[in-house]
Amino acid sequence: MGMIGYLQQLPVTQLNSLIARVDELGGVIIHETFEEEVLDIDKAWHGIHFLLNGSSFGGKEPYENVILGGAPIGADEGYGPARFLTAEQVKDVSEALAQLSSDELESRFDPAELSAESVYPSNSDWNDEDDKEYVLSYYAAVADYYRSAASKGYGMLLYLL
């Protein structure tokens, strides 16, 4: 199945409760019940991160926070612990994504760079036009999800399974 990326927006009160109860939950937090539907970004998570940051891992805030940022919380969920963003960080991400045009992001799609950096899924040669559309369509969903969370003053959980 592979590494699938997930974003979970949640009210700050629920985020704070998770942080306070993380030991009681045995560190496993992603199986809690959340009011909002989780956003599954499939295997596009790494491509999105790369297009926003210009590197496979790392970057500068707020773009680093979009997929791979935040503070770790809980146990290893499969590919490391979940991470969380505060409502303020979600707002910062949402504002930054709103400033980034789809043309600018599309111009950053360089199949040779994606392949050279072994951007997941690294078995892709990234030369297919469908690969670009795949990553950009998930990016649009991510931007909308952050906009929605920011408008409600919510925090965010980020994790890979």
CA distances from 84 to 12, 69, 88, 127, 129 (A): 11, 8, 11, 33, 33
pLDDT per residue as tens digits for the range 124-149: 677 777 889 999 999 999 999 999 99
Mean pLDDT, the chain, whole residue set: 92
113 or 151: which leads in pLDDT: 151
What is the pLDDT, as a whole number, of residue 50?
95
**How many other CB atoms sit within 10 Å of the CB of residue 128?**
11
**Mean pLDDT of the region 19-26:** 86
What is the pLDDT, as a whole number, of residue 126?
76
Paired tokens of 83: 């991470």
The type of residue at 33 is: T
Q: Is the pLDDT confidence value at 94 over 90?
A: yes
Tell me how far apart the alpha carbons of residues 138 and 67 are, in angstroms, rounded to a whole number: 12
What is the pLDDT, as a whole number, of residue 147?
98
pLDDT per residue as tens digits for the range 26-63: 878 888 889 899 999 999 999 999 999 999 988 999 99
Residue with tokens 């707002």: 91
What is the pLDDT, as a whole number, of residue 143?
98
